[in-house]
Copies of this chain bind each other. A is one copy, B any other.
Amino acid sequence: MLDNYDLKLLSEIQRNADTPQSELASRINLSPAAVNRRLRRLADEGVIDRYTAILAPEKVGYPLTIVSMIEVESEQIDLLDAMKRTFEACPQIQQCYYVAGEWDFVLIFSVRHMEEYNDLTRQLFFANNNVKRFKTLVTMSRVKAGLDIPVAPSA
């Protein structure tokens, strides 16, 4: 379904989505038109979910990244769904994973300052009966942050 040209293309546009198609074309040895068709196809098929700009959090006033983990009281499906919807709707929550293991949810927050996080814990955790306990890990350094997938073309 995805051939090596696709994989190389995906790899390139993950690194930099601003690269002109003509430049991509010469890098992977294909004509610009072929690159254009492939990119359109990959977007149509949903392989490319979306194009986005990644901002530097500190430069836009969101210097604090926080990881928190939640254990729920009940795994009843409608309770879980309600929680998922709430987390999804919260703009300071960048990522939310429903996981198996010692915890049930892992959340990544991007906030302006501790107080903002504190307020959010009140709204999202303390006010929610289904949150049994949670733990907060404050990030001291974002060693690596991206959503890149290692789509290396096979040799």
Contacts and interface: CB of A to CB of B under 8 A. Distances in A.
Interface of A: 2, 7, 10, 13-18, 45-57, 59-62, 65, 67, 69, 84, 87-88, 91-103, 105-106, 108, 110, 135-152
Contacts of A14: 52-53, 55
Given A16-B51, A88-B144, A95-B146, A46 B60 contact: no
Contacts of A93: 144
A17 to B, nearest CB: 4
Contact of A59 (B18, B46, B108): B46
B65 A47 contact: no
A131 to B, nearest CB: 15
A135 B47 contact: no
